[in-house]
Chains A and B, each alone.
Chain A
């Protein structure tokens, strides 16, 4: 049987095909121009907006969160802790998951019942968070997170009448965020006349000395968060100044540059 071949469609070559050479040249030039435009505009805008490229902006965000809003947890988002870690994951992996046994079943409740129980949880946990922040004079991250999770598990059993299991992990995070927000709302400082300024820019020799002079504790903190001291490319100090209740305050942050981004050095906190 003869192979059936498809008859090609007849084509019409019109006058406007005379523009074909121009069209191709124009298309190439247009694509190159737009690529150049996109790269230039995106890079410039990204560089001007992304706060982690500027030590004074990182310090400002850190101090606004930590010093003014008294939000110890979220201020960590501007520290070297997050250089290799996602803060939420760090909290979940190291503190929440070890404390919650596996289980994906909880008692079914209506949204109203659930809301009422979560209210009770929030009342207890918000007050507890305020207590541990007040009593934790060392303010170590470990202490705050460990105590909070322990208390949540105990309170959950009392309020819900069943053990907290891994299915309530998200609820724990939500409750913690709510406690942090509640504490922050209660204790935020009414800061005025805020200024942020780089007050000390380390020279190359000083940066090298900073790397080598890190204490053993600081090196341990670095190691814990997967940071090599050698990756510190620059160091500076930023002074965050503000007035509150008629008094002036200065808060000095030490920032390190790793890669292209600046972080508040967590080992100095």
Chain B
């Protein structure tokens, strides 16, 4: 089948997603720290009251984000411009996103608690809304970069790898900015600046710059190559697409049925302390898993050339579940002795990370196929809404995970240290076992859970080929008619 994209476009799509993920990956954790620890330091505002209000701030922003996913999706699908329907959201949305993201880290000089709270609610909700307006269209760009499904799948695979790397980019930016500040100001002076959160503010500036530079590279080089339908779709019809198209619904449901697979991160610090022997080894857990994710994405990219998306997804889920079960069994057999357990634990942990390549990549390819199916069935192309629907389910599932993790820690019987000289108290064997369960077998069950909806996904093989072929014929016919007209 004919290729449509320039070679450079595949890479600049990835670079664009990298830039966007660099900022959107940085913001949630570090904005929380900034609000909690630095924004109103020295102003006389009670820091405990700020900490208590923060869950409400992030909660409201989460609701705003979920609502914006759908709203932006509908708006994207109604967009008709000479730049296309998705590109203008990214190209022109990057500027307000850059400004608002930076302003999150510019705290007002106020000693009023009410003023501080209003500012946090407004600025963080605004950031969430504006980031949706850029991130959501950027994620669905893959569906319209080429009408060739194989080429599209390649482009989405590469871009997803870039996005995945970009999400962790902030972890590199912060120490680099710190290093430069130390060299420029002096080490103790840097500590003083760090104590005021100024390194976070400058690091945000670097991430914002990355967003704009990489985003503009994407904007100038990439084109939408799938013609969009001209008729407008009503709000009711739009929502119907998300909730009634079987295949799209199944892909989105994976987020619900698999929401608990992310609870491992809640206990990763405790795993580092009790299974590996030091809290500093948390990076030893997360880094191999991160590397495993990138390697996993490369493997999944290859698998998608051999198998259909459904098979790849199911096989990878089975693999993921089995690797987590293996990690549990090996840890139990060896026992909770950090000296002996550390090396096998970290090695298996790397192989556990491979499964995330699938969950980061395959659903995006599947949604692009669903967009084709909806167009084939209804004559209307709805990239924005399809990805927004998936994004909506993702955000709701993320909220569930955030509540589920702490609840499981309570279930484990974890005992906090009451001694000023001991950071982490000794835990009973039962608690250690339950912590290990939260890191391994409980996510393994949810990995199987996320696989279940895909058993009903049928956009594969001959059906997919038929849709691709008929859509190509329809588009060619439409183009001929347009030329005649």
**Chain A interface (Cβ < 8 Å from any Cβ of B):** 9-12, 14-20, 23-24, 26-27, 30-31, 33-35, 37-38, 41-42, 45-46, 48-52, 77, 82-87, 89, 110-112, 114-115, 118-119, 122, 261
Question: Is the Cβ of B102 less than 8 Å from the Cβ of A38?
Answer: yes
Q: How far is the CA of A34 from the CA of B209 in the complex (A)?
A: 7
Q: Is the CB of A24 within 8 A of B6?
A: no
| Nearest-Cβ distance from residue B135 to partner chain A, whole angstroms | 18
Contact of B209 among A26, A35, A51 (CB under 8 A): A35
Given A16-B82, A42-B202, A46-B201, 4 more contacts at CB 8 Å?
A: A23-B83, A31-B212, A45-B106, A112-B426
Whether A111 lies near B91 (C-beta < 8 A) is no
B34 → chain A closest CB, angstroms? 12
Closest residue of chain A to B425 (Cβ to Cβ) is: A111
Closest residue of chain B to A112, judged by CB?
Answer: B426
Closest Cβ of chain B: how far from A5's Cβ, in Å?
Answer: 15
Residues of A within 8 A of B201 (CB): 42, 45-46
A68 vs chain B, min Cβ distance (A): 14
A41 adjacent to B106 (CB under 8 Å): yes
A111 to B198, CA, bound (A): 36
Within 8 A of A (CB), among B381-403: none
B220 touching A20 by the CB < 8 A rule?
Answer: yes
Chain B, Cβ-Cβ closest to A38: B205
B95 with A33: CB separation less than 8 A: yes
Q: In the complex, which of the residues B3, B185, B213 contacts A9, with contact meaning CB atoms closer than 8 Å?
A: B3
- Which chain B residues (3-38) contact chain A, with CB distance < 8 Å? 3-7
Residues of chain B lying within 8 A (CB to CB) of residue A23: 83, 91, 219-220
Looking at B61-69, B166-174, B416-424, the stretch in contact with chain A turns out to be: B416-424
Provide the residues of chain B in CB contact with A11, threshold 8 Å.
4, 6
In the complex, A10 Cα to B193 Cα: how many Å?
Answer: 54
Tell me whether A261 and B189 are in contact (CB under 8 A). Answer: yes
CB of B188 within 8 A of CB of A30, answer no
Any A CB within 8 A of the CB of B344: no
B417 to chain A, nearest CB (A): 8
B-side contacts of A17, CB under 8 Å? 223
The answer to whether B49 has its CB under 8 Å from any CB of chain A is: no
Complex CA distance for A50 and B2, rounded to whole angstroms: 58
CB pair B421–A118 under 8 Å, yes or no, is yes
Chain A residues within an 8 Å CB radius of B422: 111-112, 114-115
Residues of chain B lying within 8 A (CB to CB) of residue A45: 106, 198, 201
Instruction: Tell me which residues across on chain B come within 8 A of A84, comparing CB atoms.
Output: 186
Q: Are A46 and B191 in contact (CB under 8 A)?
A: no
State whether A19 and B82 are in contact (beta carbons under 8 Å apart), knowing that A38-B209, A46-B198, A112-B426 are contacts in the complex: yes
Q: How many Å lie between the Cα of A52 and that of B185 in the bound state?
A: 10
How many angstroms from the CA of A31 to the CA of B98 in the assembled complex? 10
Q: Report the Cα distance A30→B208, complex, angstroms.
A: 12
B106:A86 contact, CB within 8 angstroms: no
Give the docked Cα–Cα distance between A45 and B103 (Å). 10
Docked Cα-Cα span, A118 to B94, in Å, equals 54
Q: Note all chain A residues with C-beta closer than 8 A to B225.
A: 12, 14
- Is residue B196 contacting chain A, with contact meaning CB distance below 8 A? yes
Taking CB atoms, residues of chain A closer than 8 Å to B224 are: 16
Instruction: Determine the chain A residues whose CB is within 8 A of the CB of B213 once the complex forms.
Output: 31
A248 and B239 alpha carbons, distance in the complex (Å)? 70
B91 to chain A, nearest CB (A): 7
- Structural contact, A30 and B7, CB atoms closer than 8 A: no
Query: Is the CB of B187 closer than 8 A to any CB of chain A?
Result: yes
A30 touches B216 (CB 8 A): yes
Which residues of chain B are near A119, meaning CB under 8 Å?
421
**B379 interface residue (CB < 8 Å to A):** no
A34 and B95 form a contact (CB under 8 A)? yes
Is the pair B4, A12 in contact by a Cβ cutoff of 8 Å? yes
The 10 residue pairs across chains A and B that have the minimum distance between CB atoms: A82-B188, A9-B3, A27-B216, A86-B187, A115-B422, A34-B212, A118-B421, A115-B421, A23-B220, A38-B205
With A23-B219, A77-B188, A261-B189 known as contacts, the answer to whether A34 contacts B5 (CB < 8 A) is no
Q: Which residue of B lies closest to A34 (CB)?
A: B212
> Given contacts A52-B189, A82-B188, A122-B421, are A37 and B102 in contact (CB under 8 A)?
yes
Question: Given the complex of chains A and B, what is the CA–CA distance between A16 and B228 in angstroms?
Answer: 13
Chain B neighbourhood of A37, CB < 8 A:
98-99, 102
A27 cross-chain contacts in B, Cβ below 8 A = 91, 216-217, 219-220
CA–CA, A112 to B423, complex, Å?
A: 11
| Beta-carbon contact of B3 and A77 below 8 Å | no
CB pair B208 A38 closer than 8 Å:
yes
CB neighbours (8 Å) of A48 from chain B are 109
